Amino acid sequence: MIIIALIAVIALWVMGLYNKLIARKNGVRNAFAAVDVQLKKRYDLIPNLVATVRQYMEHERGLLSEITALRSRAVQPGLAPQERMEIDNQMTQKLQQLNVQIENYPNLKANESFMSLQNTLGQVEQEIAMTRNFFNSSVTEYNTNIQQFPNVLLAGLLGFQPEAVLETAEAERSNVDVGAAF
């Protein structure tokens, strides 16, 4: 009788653990989907930004082409989350370079269409930062759950593996060099 009760308690614990980890894993997926939505918003703004900037920035065609190529890669279906985030980090770096170069074009900075795009892009960038933070919090919570004792004893056997947090691009961690703009 005691053995049956012990087996029942262990079975209930395993089921509870499994359900808890599934909920956390789904939370991670949901959080990444939120990041993905914000990235899509940014990628949807890129063609308009490039078209507006191209009219003024004749000498920056290479940078604009790189931004356009990154956008094309980013919107391809079936990209793995880490690959998408690597592209996003590269895009962030290129957009920062573009912002530095824009300082050389006062007429562009006075363009209402450009200013509207810049404001919208700034808002989207803030949303990306918030959703990335939420994603990283979800991943940390999930990873903590699978790495704590006694969960660690069964999490791997049940197929739960640690997830990677989204790293900040190197360009975002360092100061932007505006010396080239002057």
Domains in the chain and their CATH numbers?
Answer: 2-181 (1.20.1440.20)
| Whether pLDDT at 29 is above 80 | yes
Separation CA 160–CA 175 (nearest Å): 38
- How far apart are the C-alpha atoms of 73 and 120, rounded to whole Å? 22
Q: What is the CA radius of gyration of the chain?
A: 23
**pLDDT-based confidence at residue 120 (cuts at 50, 70, 90):** very high
Q: How buried is residue 111: exposed, middle or buried, by Cβ count under 10 Å (0-12/13-18/19+)?
A: middle
Instruction: Evaluate whether 88 touches 26 at the Cβ level (below 8 Å).
Output: no
Tokens of 81: 């989350």
Altogether, the residues listed in the chain come to a count of: 182
pLDDT attached to residue 169: 60
Quick count: other Cβ atoms within 10 Å of Cβ 104?
15
pTM of the prediction? 0.77
d(CA 120, CA 79): 26
- Give the chain's mean pLDDT: 86
**What is the DSSP code (8-state) at residue 60?**
G
Mean pLDDT of 133-157: 93
Say what the pLDDT of residue 108 is.
Answer: 80
113 has a pLDDT exceeding 60: yes
Give the percent of the chain with pLDDT over 90: 41
- Are the CB atoms for 142 and 164 separated by under 8 Å? no
The 3-state DSSP class for residue 39 equals helix
CA dihedral (45, 51, 56, 59) positive or negative: positive
